[in-house]
Structure 1
Amino acid sequence: MTTARTIRVGLEERAYDILIGRNLLERAGQEIAARMPGARAAIITDANVAALHLATIEESLKAAGIQGTAIRVPAGEQSKSFPVLETVVDAILAARLERRDVVIALGGGVVGDLSGFAAGIVRRGMDFVQVPTTLLAQVDSSVGGKTGINTAHGKNLVGVFHQPKLVLADTGVLDTLPPREFRAGYAETVKYGLIDRPEFFAWLEANWQEVFAGGEAREHAIAEACRAKADVVARDERESGDRALLNLGHTFGHALEAATGYDSSRLVHGEGVAIGMALAHRFSARLNLASPDDYQRVEAHLRAVGLPTKLSDIPGGLPGADRLLEYIAQDKKVSRGALTFILTRGIGQSFIAKDVPASEVLAFLEDSLKQ
């Protein structure tokens, strides 16, 4: 049995482990039973992931004596909605699961966010395990307890903080991930280098091909990203301070997702983040906060791995700068109407910029739409 890397998220009585390695789906039952003896389980997954991995985790749960009920939701961002949340909640209750039973999220970020929200509100809070099956979910959304759904007003505007009891990041399942989805997750991996780990960004520049190929480099990259996020979450669980740095690229990115109607054929979350990070570095240079060399270096690396970096890279066209600014203003990183961005003074030198003038953002968006 291969040894998994273990990273501890230090939240006192709510601390939990992130296990990273291959073949963890086969071990899911024993890992859950060891931490939650006697629990029954609801496994929430989508049709795509169910076809690949549901049987493996069901078998593992059965071998550990855990009774499991599978709940399938449609694949795609549209499942982060009130109607789908209602069907999931109803299915959990119909299975007669109790508060000390466990909700298992088997899937990418959409399934994780939806399942975590359901677990957070059913019976005022059920136990919850993340089994992320995409790179994006393994390095970002499965860790930290942010859950939620989208509305017509924007992304992730309704949700709760609800920490998992365990995260099982099986790196072997990434072998079945479509290349576009892997690249999208890689954008979130890069983010941790750009926030405050310049040496990690340099390592990724030198080793990204090995990360894509799999093996030791991939596990190292996932572990570094999870360690970076775990450190931030332990310091600032509910985003009252520097956890906001994890939103680097997301204020622009979420606005672009809303502007494309969450249509994954045009833009998936990680691609929005990639463009958002490129824009954040370009905007920082425009404000004379950072050197143009930095945004050029960031854009060059994102382009090298096949990620978009410009608004014109999004197929199908975008609304005008005024409308994009409205989406940005609706984003949850806005406080009392003032625009807050994560900007940078250089690679790995991100900071929270409050009260960014809307006029500066509007002029920047107008210029960016022409490029």
Structure 2
Amino acid sequence: MPELRKDPIVQRWVIIAAERGQRPSDFRVEASTVEINPKACPLCPNNEERTPPEVFAIRLDGSKPNTPGWLVRVVPNKFPALRLDSDLNRRGMGLFDMMNGIGAHEVVIETPEHNDDWDTMPVEQLQRVFQAFQARLNALKEDTRFRYSLVFRNYGVQAGASLSHPHSQIIALPIVPQLPKEKLTSARQYYLDKERCIFCDLIFQERELQKRVVMESKHIIVLSPFAARFPYELHFFPTRHNHDFAQENEDVLRDLAIVMKRVLTAVKRLLGQPAYNFVLHTAPNPVPRPGRPDYWGTLPYDYHWHWEFIPRLTRVAGFEWGTGFYINPVAPEAAAEVLREALRASPDEVR
């Protein structure tokens, strides 16, 4: 029997159609990537002049900006969705609200190695990637025009990747987008009602049930969410409450790198080389607003940063667009079980 489930955070309904009986092998795919000769890749070392000048880099000692010798490099997107060089110019016309397309759009080049992925790069390198995210999130908060910065990673053509070299993107926006706003608003209301973090309560409850816990380490817990929209969707939470990824300490970043490597290895063991998206949900920029000085006043207490992982195994079609519902043919409990088995089959030591 199919089951309707309601997401306790954003109040979104999902159809779990597990009677379709799809097994992991039914989803096995090989990712379609945009293959480029590394010598021609604009993100590879020795091609630094083919990107805009870097805004941040982690480099080997002695190497100069915009030259080889970098370990992680952040550059403005050559074809940005938004631009920095203007004022917001908020305006309206009747029912229509408008402002200039102000924002930052950056590319985080994660490694000099053209063929790496998060499951193959060393833990120290993935930790450097997270450090670069933190540095840029903190820098972008200094621009008071920006209300929210989104970190995301597209892997494979089906997930939106246009280059195969390992990279992520950061887009800073002058508004808080709808989905993050729904999570933030729900978390704030829950805290005002109960003086507890809804995400901490969720983690406590899932630990008690143990049905959807995929993995837990010293600092990170991985859940197959109760109302997962997609097969093998996963959420990564810090076990200790923290609202802002940019403030997280090095021990947590290293543990997160280890956990992400292990989980992504398990996913690929089950599903082949699926395209996927990683998305970071973290604190917005707490810019004071005229007349609303306490708008994010409870943010350090009510919000909880987390990563969402979405393998691109199904398509969003007319039903989803027409209703806002998602149809997931794999029960989250079944996904968690097979992923736990795949993790047990993988070595515990990750380098």
- TM-score of the superposed pair, with normalisation by structure 2: 0.25
* Structure with more strand by fraction: 2
Richer in helix (by share): 1
TM-score normalised to structure 1 length: 0.24
**Relative contact order, CA 8 A, sep 6+: which one is greater?**
2
